[in-house]
Amino acid sequence: MRTAALVSSILIAGVLPAAAADLPVKARPMVPVVTAYNWTGCYIGGNVGGKWVRTSGSVDVAAAGIGAAGSILLPNADTSTLIAGGQVGCNYQVPGSNWVLGVEGDFDWHRWSRGFTTAAGVPFPFIANDVFDIRSRWQASARGRIGYAWDRLLVYATGGAAFTEVTVGTNFIAFGIFPQTLAEDKKTLFGATVGGGFEYAFTNNFSAGIEGRYTWYGSQTYNAGLVATVFTPGTAAPGGFTLAQATQTYKLDTFEVMGKLNFKIF
């Protein structure tokens, strides 16, 4: 009896470790690997913000016949407008680096205008209540970007070419026998824009940020029509009037701040 119990104990001691070795071992839970966000990819998005515009210039009437030339200065004028539109672009994050290179193009609607009405005492052929105005409805840009990323936060500088369409209106009102002159001239202007901003990727596909830019377009001269400056009855001139070429010249600078929301396509 004792011999049988001893043999059983020896067998159990030998079999249990072997059986335990064959049981599956539960693996330790895996800790997720956190990787830095990569800015490489292309995106499309929208923007909304505010725009500030400064204009200055002059209206000039050339000498014609015995009529002397005339000129008035248009004072510096500031105006502001809401701005809204969209953008599309691509980024490339240098492998193993925090530097991000990119290109971006945008198109925005705005609505700004500025008018000037002459007062008494202006030189002929100007008279009191002549009206001169300038206005614009859209702008666009094509720019490069260079930035530095801290994981999902990107701080960048941007610069490139800017475009806008500007319309100029002229109204020399009728005075005595001198007829009214109405004119309108429209040009698409080319300028330069620089600025910077920051962007934060709050998901792998969506990012939001703020950007500010300064843009200058230089000075442009617009056709302001033909103005009657001399009346000589019986001449071959239309209606007996000698007509002189009038022009408006404007310098245009703008500054804007906009919020942007982008969707990373791939």
What does the DSSP assignment read for 132-167?
Answer: EEEEEEEEEEEEEEEEEEETTEEEEEEEEEEEEEEE
Q: Residue 35: what pLDDT?
A: 65
Q: Residue 78: what pLDDT?
A: 95
Within 10 Å of residue 203's Cβ, how many Cβ atoms? 10
CA–CA separation, 35 and 83 (whole Å): 37
CATH 2.40.160 for domain 47-264: yes
Series of mean pLDDT values for 10-residue runs along the chain (266 residues): 44 45 56 75 98 97 84 94 98 97 98 96 94 98 98 98 98 94 98 98 98 98 95 70 95 98 97
Q: Residue 198: what pLDDT?
A: 98
Region label for 125, one of left (φ > 0), alpha (ψ between -120 and 50) or beta (otherwise): alpha
Q: Residue 3: what pLDDT?
A: 45
Q: What's the token pair of residue 67?
A: 């009529």
CA–CA separation, 208 and 60 (whole Å): 47
What single-letter amino acid sits at 26? K
CA–CA separation, 218 and 162 (whole Å): 12
Q: Residue 24: what pLDDT?
A: 54
Alpha helix stretches (DSSP H) within the chain: 2-21
What single-letter amino acid sits at 179? P
C-alpha closest to that of 246 among 117, 70, 116, 128:
70
Q: Residue 66: what pLDDT?
A: 74
Report, in this order, helix, strand and coil percent for the chain, each rounded to 5.
10, 65, 25
CA–CA separation, 217 and 170 (whole Å): 21
CA–CA separation, 194 and 100 (whole Å): 17
Q: Burial level of 87, CB count in 10 A (0-12/13-18/19+)?
A: buried
Cα angle, residue 87 at apex, residues 195 and 155 outer, rounded to 5°:
40
Q: Residue 231: what pLDDT?
A: 85
Residue found by looking up tokens 């396509």 in the block = 265
What single-letter amino acid sits at 50? G
The whole-model pTM stands at 0.83
Domain extents in the chain: 47-264
